[in-house]
Amino acid sequence: MARNLPYPAHQALSVIRGALTHELPMRALDEPDRSKVQLFEMDAPRAKQFAVVLGDVNAQTGHHKAQTTRILLERCVLPPIVGVEPDDKPYAGQRIVQQKDSKLAAPNQVSCRVADETALKALIRWYASQA
């Protein structure tokens, strides 16, 4: 089980929707204000997906409540990236399990936590290169 690494999910979402979306061939499958989890897809032949788990939106701050960043990937073997820790417990929220456009329901899921922006970028860049 991964430790609770202190990199708030709303910060990771900003990086994914900002710099990484402009750098890598990917697109968001959800609107920016969706809570709980947001799904993304690589624009590649296999159209691999990943998601960021956010939790509910805090009405006072407008940010998602998750104070750690959990990333869900399609089944793969995570490379050794500093600041990326596997999380053995699958995420089973409604967006991932019940909606038809998601490819991330267990057992086709690898879950991990990222410690900071550097680890997040390294993970998503690696994942995009595997498409």
DSSP 52: E
Share of residues in the chain with pLDDT > 70 (%): 90
Return the closest-CA partner of residue 28 out of 10, 50, 58: 50
Which residue is listed with tokens 């595997």? 130
pTM over 0.75: yes
* pLDDT tens-digit series, residues 29-52: 998 877 789 999 998 767 899 999
> How would you class 107 by CB atoms within 10 Å of its CB: exposed for 0-12, middle for 13-18, buried for 19 or more?
exposed
Residue ranges of the alpha helices (H) in the chain?
9-15, 21-23, 94-97, 117-129
Helices (H), 24-131: 94-97, 117-129
Greater model confidence, 103 or 33: 103
